[in-house]
Structure 1
Amino acid sequence: MLISNKRNTKTWAALLLSGVLLFSMNTTGYAAVQSEPLPKPAWTSSSLMQSQVNTEKDVIIKEINAVPAKNLVYVHSSQPVTKTSSATTLDWQLDTLQALDATTGKVKWNYIFHDKSGPYTTYSDSLYTSYGTAYVYMEYSDGTKKVYSFNTSGKTNWVRTVTAPSDLYLLDDETLLIASSQGAQSNGSVRTALSLYDKKGKLITEKTINGAVLQAGNDRIVVDASKRTKVGSYWQPAANPKVEIYDRSLTRLSFYQFPSNANTQGDGGGESLAILDDGSIIMRANFENTGNKLMGFGTDGKLAWGRTIAGNAFIQTAGSGYTLFTGSKLELYTMKGKVTERTFKDQQPVLMQVERTQDGLYQLDFAKTGYIVDPETLKDVHVYTTSASVPSMEGPSTYINHVFYAIQNDTLSKYVLKASTEK
């Protein structure tokens, strides 16, 4: 059994809509590319399952990331540990980072985050640079927490022990931000230690701030600086947070207090908070009696506009633009306003996936037809169809430079798409 376990809406999201898999353009007159069957795999790897300890058969795929410049594909996976004694529980995991040769599919190296008789993983996360460095965060059953930096040969560049639960973020110059927080204090306030590292693992700067990091990327860090409210035994974040925006130097640029009738948690799908390539920010909120709005914060960190959107709109960003998918209509916007739109028509309910690809395009997958779409024009880059022999991309996968890498059962397969030709 294979399970996808993406975190923080990094990439995987689903939207229920009507559909059969017939495509129609809007009146703006896009040129359609030739539809192509998804090809048979160029290769399929051996099993990604590990047998070093007594694990269940589930393979949880945490991340797939291709690095064309190094001819590598990373797979970060986790397997639940079977309880055999009081020393193990089903909440523990065996985490593995594997690097496969992108030409042959053979495993080049395999790192297991567990020493014999040592602690197991209880939580993990990973992210990857364009030049092949892999950063992996691990929380262990003995309470220790570590950040690993791996090079493309499978050797650790460095390992850092952190004292509090942490999140990892890459900024636009591919420096690493580690945000560590102990959670809410007795009065509801939250303190977070921010540490920024360069490519060699050297500490650039650090600072402890009031609040919890909501998102970071490009040259911006978005923080919820509100106190939390205790409900039962749990601390709940504010529905109408005070949002503070920092730059890469950890200097606060601005703040915005959402009004009391706003709720930033809940409605719609996709990215509720996103940082665009130019450093501007969009954030979704539902306002009592008036409905959903998308709030746009400019490159100076200040609120620039509020745009009314449908409550069921699905939001996805790429580059310096964002899309709203509502019903069958996909609309493209920048911070300045609407650019274009197109329509997908269908006749029966299907589950659809929308995400941003590794190379910054949009990917839309219906039951039997998928689209790779240009983020600046919404024109097709690829239109591909699936069949019983070549299944859909519903499982964990990644796309970059006309190539899919996808998990089927417990193996990884490579699918090479042909260069699209216009009709």
Structure 2
Amino acid sequence: MHTTYTNRKRKSTTWAVLLLSGMLLLNMNTTTGYAAASTESLSKPAWTSSSLMLNEANTEKDVMIKNIYAVPAKNLVYVHTSQPVTKTSSKTTLDWQLDSLQALDAKTGQLKWSTIFHEKSGPYTTYSNSVYASNGTAYVYMEYSDKSKKLYSFNTSGKTNWVKTVNSSANISLMDNDNLLVATSQGVQSNGSVRSTLSLYDQKGKLLTEKTIAGTVLKAAKGRIVVDASKQVKSGNFWQPVANPKVEIYDTSLNRLSFYQFPAEANTQGDGGGEALAILDDGSVLMRANFETTGNRLMGFGSDGKLAWGRAIAGDAYIQTAGNGYTVLTGSKLELYTMKGKVTERMFKDAQPVLMHVDRTQDGQYQLDFAKTGYILNPQTLEDVHVYIVSTAVPSLESISTYMNEVIYSMKGEALSKYALKSSSAK
């Protein structure tokens, strides 16, 4: 159920900015205690693509960027977009989307291929998600208006490796060895219980292992699957997960390693920013909770799945992970930890309140973007890898972007722009 298109038309529209991981109010930063990298000016981009708007959608509404993902080894950068479709018939009862996966040449910005997940007069997308393997294989999950659900695998040439029909709503996650976990569930039963089927596939689409478990997958990555095994509770006409879940941790053989019951006073659905649940490269798991009597705590589960420690953090602390470490940003202080304890910290001095975001880059570093200044930080030391500032050509850093191998790909209006930073080895 996909068709390839290459035509484009220009429309007057704005691009919807998805909730970026790490949006918060913070003070404009200067650093102390670290030798700063040479500051670079983000000036004219190496290229700006043609408009990524599709003329197959009768919409003037905002368009969402679901993913930007670079594959340097294949000279490729993916953009997964989703455009709302205006209701034109009384037969149309759902909120439609027109989803596409577009692949651009990383050297020129020219469109190499584009796949739209809709056939003329066929069902539209109602939900979508995508993940990408290190070799550039793209996995795209689609739910359609006729209730059908499909999982696609594309190679870097735009050819379909395989397509699978999925019977129930699913979440997809990339695991170790670029295997794909598909977690499906038929929803909450009358007694509040949920059962999920975990299916692990290799890149050829071969089923490696499968298991049905009690609970809902909260997050899966690397070699771990974190599950909420609690029954949900009825709130009006809706079922909701409990605030203090029973958490179970599985490995990729689908063996349960451990479980932990959060106490009644805990709430895992509340305070702070960043990653409330994260999985480190070594399989360790971090979960955040607010306890009525003691406030916010960060809970660390070791690679064996067992609770290793819990420590107090500020209610407004921002958590971000990379590799085998994690950062805690509290006010103007950025602290780096591993599961064994604190590694280092650095300060950001006051200047003015600005909107910024913190994220993990594709190549596993930290990226901090303020209104006028951006940083790429070493994940083991917090030292500067790059410091870049805006210019007349780039008036703001507030946009959907990704960083990989000293290149920033960023949305600019309806198009994608490439900004090449100075080589770290040349500094």
- Aligned to 2:73, what secondary structure does the other structure show? helix
Residues 82, 90 of structure 1: 8 Å contact kept: no
Partner of 1:50: 54
Could you tell me which amino acid in structure 2 is paired with residue 131 of structure 1?
N
1:239 aligns with 2:243: yes
**C-alpha deviation, 1:390, in angstroms:** 1.2
Residues 371, 397 of structure 2: 8 Å contact kept: no
Distance in 2 (CA, whole Å) between partners of 1:135 and 1:111 is: 13
TM-score scaled by length of structure 1: 0.95
Distance in 2 (CA, whole Å) between partners of 1:87 and 1:111 is: 26
Residues 270, 316 of structure 1: 8 Å contact kept: yes
Could you tell me which amino acid in structure 1 is paired with residue 221 of structure 2?
G
- Aligned to 2:32, what secondary structure does the other structure show? coil
Alpha-carbon displacement from aligned partner over 1:343-375 (angstroms, at most 9, x marks no partner): 111221111111001100000011100100000
- Uncovered stretches (5+) of structure 1, i.e. residues with no partner: none
Distance in 2 (CA, whole Å) between partners of 1:177 and 1:52 is: 32
**C-alpha deviation, 1:86, in angstroms:** 2.2
Distance in 1 (CA, whole Å) between partners of 2:406 and 2:423 is: 7
Partner of 1:194: 198
Partner of 2:362: 358
TM-score scaled by length of structure 2: 0.95
1:24-423 alignment, distance < 5 Å: 24-26=31-33, 30-88=34-92, 91-420=95-424
Distance in 2 (CA, whole Å) between partners of 1:24 and 1:46 is: 38
Alpha-carbon displacement from aligned partner over 1:143-202 (angstroms, at most 9, x marks no partner): 111111011111111111111111000112110000001221100000001100001110
**Which of these residues, 4, 15, 27, is aligned with residue 24 of structure 2?**
15
Distance in 2 (CA, whole Å) between partners of 1:253 and 1:259 is: 20
- Uncovered stretches (5+) of structure 2, i.e. residues with no partner: 1-13
Could you tell me which amino acid in structure 2 is paired with residue 107 of structure 1?
L
**C-alpha deviation, 1:422, in angstroms:** 9.7
Could you tell me which amino acid in structure 2 is paired with residue 114 of structure 1?
H
Distance in 1 (CA, whole Å) between partners of 2:406 and 2:426 is: 16
Residues 104, 111 of structure 2: 8 Å contact kept: yes
RMSD after superposition: 1.4
Distance in 1 (CA, whole Å) between partners of 2:308 and 2:286 is: 10
Could you tell me which amino acid in structure 1 is paired with residue 51 of structure 2?
S
> Which segment is superposed worse, 157-166 or 332-341?
157-166
**C-alpha deviation, 1:39, in angstroms:** 3.0
Distance in 2 (CA, whole Å) between partners of 1:85 and 1:346 is: 54
Could you tell me which amino acid in structure 2 is paired with residue 4 of structure 1?
V
Alpha-carbon displacement from aligned partner over 1:294-328 (angstroms, at most 9, x marks no partner): 10101110000011111100000000000000001
**C-alpha deviation, 1:61, in angstroms:** 0.6
Residues 94, 145 of structure 2: 8 Å contact kept: no
Partner of 1:3: 16
Residues 166, 179 of structure 1: 8 Å contact kept: yes
**C-alpha deviation, 1:52, in angstroms:** 1.8
- Aligned to 1:173, what secondary structure does the other structure show? helix
Could you tell me which amino acid in structure 1 is paired with residue 17 of structure 2?
S
Distance in 2 (CA, whole Å) between partners of 1:56 and 1:146 is: 27
Residues 174, 222 of structure 2: 8 Å contact kept: yes
1:421/1:25 Cα in 2 relative to 1: closer, same or farther (>3 Å)? farther
**Runs of at least 4 residues off by over 3 Å:** 87-90, 420-423
Distance in 2 (CA, whole Å) between partners of 1:363 and 1:378 is: 10
Distance in 2 (CA, whole Å) between partners of 1:12 and 1:159 is: 30
Distance in 1 (CA, whole Å) between partners of 2:58 and 2:313 is: 50
Could you tell me which amino acid in structure 2 is paired with residue 3 of structure 1?
A
Alpha-carbon displacement from aligned partner over 1:251-283 (angstroms, at most 9, x marks no partner): 001100011111111100000010100011110
Distance in 1 (CA, whole Å) between partners of 2:339 and 2:396 is: 34
> Which segment is superposed worse, 318-327 or 342-351?
342-351
Residues 367, 392 of structure 1: 8 Å contact kept: yes
**C-alpha deviation, 1:83, in angstroms:** 1.6
**C-alpha deviation, 1:85, in angstroms:** 1.6
Distance in 1 (CA, whole Å) between partners of 2:128 and 2:184 is: 14
What percentage of aligned pairs have identical amino acids?
71
Distance in 2 (CA, whole Å) between partners of 1:290 and 1:422 is: 49
Could you tell me which amino acid in structure 2 is paired with residue 15 of structure 1?
L
Could you tell me which amino acid in structure 1 is paired with residue 31 of structure 2?
S
